[in-house]
Structure 1
Amino acid sequence: MNKPQYKLVVLMVAVALASGSGGYWLARQGQTDHAAATTAAGATKDGRKVLYWYDPMVPNQHFDKPGKSPFMDMQLMPKYADEGGETAGVKIDPGVVQNLGIRLATVESQTLADAVDAVATVGFNEREVAVVQARSPGFVQRVYARAPGDVIPAGAPIADLLVPEWAGAQQEYLALLKTGDKALASAARERLRLTGMPEALIQRVEQTGMPHSVVTISAPVGGVIQELDVRSGMTVGMGMTLARINGLGSVWLEAAIPEAQAGRVRTGQPLEARLTAYPGEAFKGKVIAVLPQANTDSRTLRVRIELPNRDGRLKPGMFAQVRLEAGTGKPAIVVPSEAIIRTGTRVVVLLAADGGHYQPVEVQIGQESGGKTVVLKGLEAGQKVVASGQFLIDSEASLKGVLARLEGGSASAMTAPQPSGEKTAALNQATGRVESIKAGEITISHGPVASLGWGAMTMTFKLAKPELTAGLKPGDSVAFGFSQSDGDFVVQQLSKTGGGQ
């Protein structure tokens, strides 16, 4: 390295050292100037009123004068009156908002359409069941070629029965018809009907003039044979079941609705069903019953759905997917679901106001669908909420204690160690000098508090009892014990001492 280059390097190092030390001096000077710009009287040189001073890392602790924070190696910050009160929220520069990409959404009033999806199985319509029985004792002469599971039309023959007692009643009726006595003949005809003889068989006897003691048992409805208990040559008694037939004009779907969505299903609700057997085709139906018992294993509720089956394509046992339109039909206050912040104990949204102010608002939410969430309480239509970038505003608000105050004044996890909020907790003992006494409050310049790891500071305490300050005045030296209750430090014991702090 030649001599000119060496001089250049030395000069650059000297400039760098001067810049670093100058930057450090400017930072320290900035803190000093900021502290000097405010006075203990509660005002700045430009006339802005100061409410109190605070450490951003311990926002719930207020001080009545500027100085160094007892918790962190930094100066206390002023809270100005024109920045708003306890619930004013947080203010962020509009330029910063734009750079961070924070997006706002409008609170709307709209009808939230929702759908409930469930799986279902096709089953028989148990309301379309016909039971075929023998109306009189007799013998089975013939059984037609039927078997359980066969699908038969209405009027299809099932079996031929020989009923001996019908032969004598028919002959008596024919004899009375020949006498011409219409009253007796009518009574005899009614007797035939009461024995269970079909009307078609009575008319056949009248037309042929001959008794017919064999009757053909037919299916009263079309459908599938569920049971067939008749065989050739067997004896049957009056009222004996010969067959059981289930109609196929309509079918039932048994859908399993999750318990959490059961409240959105009602009787008469229209729906759409799709079956894997017929892809791309939708079948329209409706809910006819919500069964009163839930499945304890799957935590689902059984919903009965009826579908028309005029062409017989829907077979019991098929698998189906159903969708129920579960919208209430009533307008509701909705916000984008991404605007909801769940803190664990509360649900809040960040409400945007004019001038870059943001305030957390506790809300009560309802159902969620299509990226929208119903807000039951806490917001009104037309308001603006933060839909993205909440974590940035949330961080800023947490530093200023806004969300901590919303949570009931609880300190954040970054605060200095503090005692339990119960009044029965052990008292923290300290000594100090009374600075001022107000209604329910006392300001004390106290020494270190070993139980909390605090240094000496001036702070305002609540009074557990107003009579604790009886006989005290500013300037008196005191010994006191205090505890934390609901985010405030409360003096439980207070006595005057002879010496100073």
Structure 2
Amino acid sequence: MSPTMSKLPYALAAAAALLGAGAAAGYLWAQRSAAPHAAATAGTAPTPAAPERKVLYWYDPMSPATRFDKPGKSPFMDMQLVPMYADADEAAGTVRIDPGITQNLGLRLATVTRTHGAQEIHASGVLGFNERELAVVQARSGGFVERVPALAPGDVLPAGALLAELLLPEWAAVQQEALALQRLGQAELLAAAQERMRLAGMPEELIRSVLASGQVQSRVAIRTPRAGVIQELEVRAGMNLMAGATLARIQGLGTVWLEAGVPEAQSAAVRVGQAARIQLASRPGETLDGKVAALLPALNDAARTLRVRIELPNPGGALRPGLSAQVRLLGATQAAALAVPTEAVIRTGQRALVMLAEGQGRYRPVEVLLGGELGSLTLIQSGLAEGQQVVASGQFLIDSEASLKGIRPQPTGSQP
């Protein structure tokens, strides 16, 4: 057999294999092409396109309060404006937080309750001198200072303590004239001489002493008119004095003033005569009772507080000016009113907000009108209803989220 004839069976087998593979590939291609057509003929509808979301407005996340009608670039930051859609939670004025993570955020709710009681205003203050007890000692006539005890500003003296001994020549001449008229028995002239002694500045005690003793008393002892502390001492031994020269200023310590600063927002609730409870840092555990003596006409510009004056008795001088104090001003009992924990209120300076919990992890910022305070509670005049729940802890996180998303607080008095 020739070599050509011996290779023929192998060639026929290879050709048969190639034809089989081609037939299999054609069958698979036909099945795949027929599948969409079969599905269409079976009645399977194509997937519908998602509806287009409605855009309410565009905003800059860094300045969410400003809204824009069209998309574009923010005039505040180098970034594109973000759309706010109508189907978003924020469009309803709420912030949604997954209930599963509220515990991690430390959120704590409190119920709006109705309560009544005496309103309390808390303030801080400092003790000071009662300036009505200030005594000024002056020379009533020109003369000389002969002696001054060992005194200095800050010394506390009893009433009648010696301040200085003065020699007053002008008084000597007037006294001699009065004594001469007394010896002559001229009653009318003596009365005129006594009047001249008074006009010269002599006290009544000195006039009676001169006429009773018949002796000229030109050396005069100047004594403190009241008990107190020496604030100024302007007299020294050997000085020449002119009439009206100030010798000393004596500040009485029988009573002291406590000047407290009441926040401007609570100043309308303070009245003269209002009871006050005072606690001094230097006397822990002890409470002093007092009353509001005066409301000073000018506010403290730096702290924006009403200056309230409380007068306190000071037996033994135990209350020292300069001591700090905490004050509770007790108001009249008020009718029942809504109240929330004070910590739940967010004060922005222009308004007060609370974060209202609406269930299912939704929270809404609501503007409220505040009343006074009752202990740890703040009274609410409008903006909330009894039984509602507000966020008492972690509300600042929600407020920040609402601000970033451009959610405006619900106005006072409107309903959700």
Fold-level match, TM-score > 0.5?
Answer: yes
Deviation, structure 1 residue 341? 9.7
SS at match of 2:179: helix
Counterpart in the other structure of 1:330: 334
Describe the superposition over 1:279-334 as per-residue Cα deviations: whole angstroms up to 9, x where unpaired: 22222223333334444444444333221112111112223222222x35331422
**Secondary structure class of the residue paired with 1:283:** strand
1:155 to 160, 173, 178: 160
Does 1:140 find its partner at 2:145? Answer: yes
Counterparts of 1:121 and 1:375, CA distance in 2: 31
Q: Does 1:117 align with 2:123?
A: yes
Determine the structure 1 residue equivalent to 2:380: 375
For 2:147 and 2:345, the matched residues in 1 are separated by 77
Residue pairs, 1:242-261, within 5 angstroms: 242-261=247-266
SS in 2 for 1:330: strand
Match of 2:181 among 152, 168, 176: 176
Q: CA deviation at 1:217?
A: 1.0
Q: Residues of 2 paired with 1:219 and 1:339: CA distance?
A: 54
| Residues 1:273 and 2:278 aligned together | yes
Deviation at 1:337, TM superposition (A): 4.2
Kept after mapping to 1: 8 A contact 2:128/2:321? yes
User: How many Å separate the matches in 1 of 2:192 and 2:278?
Assistant: 55
Evaluate the alpha carbon distance shift between residue 349 and residue 233 of structure 1 in structure 2; reply closer, same or farther with a 3 A threshold. Answer: same
2:356–2:391 CA contact under 8 A, matched in 1: no
Equivalent position amino acid for 2:203 in 1: P
1:200 to 205, 211, 215: 205
- In the TM superposition, what is the alpha-carbon distance from 1:266 to its structure 2 partner? 3.3
Q: Give the structure 2 partner of residue 209 of structure 1.
A: 214
Query: Tell me, which stretches of 5 or more residues in structure 1 are unaligned?
Result: 1-54, 61-70, 73-102, 352-359, 391-403, 409-501
Shift of 1:241: 0.5
Number of the residue aligned with 1:425: none
Q: What letter corresponds to residue 366 of structure 1 in structure 2?
A: L
Contact map agreement 2:231 2:250 (CA 8 A) in 1: yes
Per-residue CA deviations over 1:106-134 (Å, capped at 9, x if unaligned) read 8636335323132x222211111111111
Distance 1:313 1:287 in 2: 20
Cα distance 1:372–1:334, how it changes in 2: closer, same or farther (>3 A)? Answer: farther
Post-superposition CA distance 1:361-412 (Å, at most 9, x none) = x885323434544332477xxx85244899xxxxxxxxxxxxx9x969xxxx
Q: State the one-letter code of the partner of 1:199.
A: E
Q: Which amino acid aligns with 1:163?
A: L
- Three-state SS of the structure 2 residue aligned to 1:385 is coil
TM-score where L is the length of structure 2: 0.59
Residue of structure 1 equivalent to 2:114: 108
Gaps of 5+ in 2: 1-50, 57-85, 88-108, 359-363, 393-406, 412-416
Task: Please tell me whether residue 287 in structure 1 is matched to residue 289 in structure 2.
Answer: no
Question: Partner letter of residue 338 of structure 2?
Answer: V
Are 1:224 and 2:226 counterparts? Answer: no
Corresponding letter in the other structure for 1:128: E
Distance of 1:345 and 1:280 partners within structure 2: 35
- Identity percentage over the alignment? 47
3-state secondary structure, aligned to 2:256: strand
Which structure carries more relative contact order (alpha carbon 8 Å, separation 6+)?
A: 2
Q: Which has the higher helix share?
A: 2
Deviation at 1:159, TM superposition (A): 0.8
Q: Distance in 2 between matches of 1:143 and 1:316?
A: 28
Flag the 1:291–1:166 CA change in 2: closer, same or farther, 3 A.
same
Residues 383-442 of structure 1 show CA distances to partners (whole Å, capped at 9, x for unaligned) of 85244899xxxxxxxxxxxxx9x969xxxxxxxxxxxxxxxxxxxxxxxxxxxxxxxxxx
Match of 2:99 in 1: none
CA distance in 1, matches of 2:231, 2:387: 62
Checking the alignment, whether the CA contact within 8 Å between 1:122 and 1:320 is kept in structure 2 is yes
Residues paired across the two proteins, number: 292
What is aligned with 1:385? 387
The Cα of 1:211 is off from its aligned counterpart by: 1.0
Does the CA-based 8 Å contact 2:136-2:249 persist in structure 1? Answer: yes
Q: Once superposed, what is the RMSD of the aligned Cα atoms?
A: 4.3
How far apart are 1:197 and its partner, in Å?
Answer: 0.9
Q: Please name the residue that 1:126 is paired with.
A: 131
- Measured after TM superposition, the shift of residue 265 of structure 1 is 3.1
